[in-house]
Amino acid sequence: GAFIYNEKANKALNDFYSRKDTLSLGVCNGCQLMAELGLITPNKRELSPKMKHNDSHKFESEFVSVEIPKSNSILFKSLQNCKLGIWVAHGEGKFTFPTNNLKNKNEIAGMDIALKYAFDEYPANPNGSPARIAGVCSKDGRHLAIMPHPERALRAWNWAYYPNKNRKDLFTPWIEMFINGYKWCLKNKK
């Protein structure tokens, strides 16, 4: 409500999203906030996804597999076509859209599908999102909203399973999304 009804907060948020040198990442509650405020589709807020209760009607916390399809996502640029493990922890994580029109298998309603659960069925798709959608990004790839928690899977010991041959890795592949963001910021700073 503060972003909608507080004139200064609303202006600051809109100014941030209208700039071309900004990135944003919404994870879990941040994803819900981005969806509710229409920040993934700022020029067409009516197309913004809504987050609904999981089909299971309960809070889900588990380690699942996700796929990172080809998209415009800046943060996932070097991770496209990867399958990785990740934690989920949410009760309202089901993506719903004002239109079910998938323009192709990686795009819906003015945004790119940036992250998918690896399987259709529960519990691998822990919330029942259509087309296995776990995250979306703006068409320019700068704003990413995802339900799973990459920050909880940055180290091998955070994973429910991590290959023995890689157990000594300092970081898991999820660190790449933060490196991609850092590189983009360096390249696009004013």
Element (H or E) spanning 102, and its range?
A: strand 102-104
Q: How far apart are CA 1 and CA 176, in angstroms?
A: 34
Active site residue 28: yes
How many Cα atoms occupy the beta-carbon half-sphere of 168 within 13 Å?
1
Q: Point out the catalytic residue in the list 28, 60, 90, 143.
A: 28
Provide the 10 A C-beta neighbour count for residue 166: 11
Q: Point out the catalytic residue in the list 57, 151, 176, 185.
A: 151
CB 112 within 8 A of CB 72: yes
Q: How far apart are CA 172 and CA 152, in angstroms?
A: 11
Q: Point out the catalytic residue in the list 90, 137, 149, 176.
A: 149
Provide the 10 A C-beta neighbour count for residue 53: 15
Q: How far apart are CA 133 and CA 118, in angstroms?
A: 10
Q: How far apart are CA 167 and CA 7, in angstroms?
A: 50
Active site residue 185: no
Active site residue 92: no
Q: Which residues participate in catalysis according to the annotation?
A: 28, 149, 151
